[in-house]
Amino acid sequence: MRKGDAIWCLMMDAGGRLGCHQRPERSFAWRGYQFSVCARCTGILLAVPAALLAFRKRKLHPTVCALLSCVMLADWLVQHAGIRESTNRRRLLTGMIGGFGVYTLHLYLLKWVFDRLTGRQ
């Protein structure tokens, strides 16, 4: 087994443990290796550091974050209903938008818990 194959196997295992379905037709590939997560999960993972940086600079209102999260849900619903098949580019984009919203909501929750535990209001 080549070194690259062993690393790929470890990454695929990690992606599966994150809960991604890892369907090849819904995943990107690079140099013959499928990404360890699908296009939508790739977008979500890319959104996490962006949301963290944005949360420190300027917080979006939680309602806006919830609406951003709905973008990903809407794409999934349209595809699930058979109205229109999503593409990997669209999955990546909606994953980034939705992931940004969801993770920002998580940050609000973490801040709220931290503030209560430390006595800040």
pLDDT tens column, 11-47: 777 777 888 888 888 888 888 888 889 999 999 999 9
pLDDT of 104 over the 70 cut: yes
pLDDT of 2 over the 90 cut: no
Cβ atoms 34, 12 nearer than 8 A: yes
Tokens 């940086």 locate to: 53
For the CA atoms of 25, 31, 33, 39, what is the dihedral angle to 10 degrees?
-40
**pLDDT score for 65:** 96
Arithmetic mean of pLDDT over the chain: 90
Q: What is the 3-state secondary structure (H, E, C) of the chain?
A: CCHHHHHHHHHHHHHHHCCCCCCHHHCCEECCEECCCCHHHHHHHHHHHHHHHHHHHCCCCHHHHHHHHHHHHHHHHHHHCCCCCCCHHHHHHHHHHHHHHHHHHHHHHHHHHHHHHHCCC
Calpha distance 115→68 (Å, rounded): 25
pTM, entire model: 0.84
Domain residue spans of the chain: 1-37, 39-121
- Kindly report, residue by residue over 76-93, the tens digit of the pLDDT: 899 999 999 999 999 999
**pLDDT score for 83:** 95
pLDDT of 59 over the 80 cut: yes
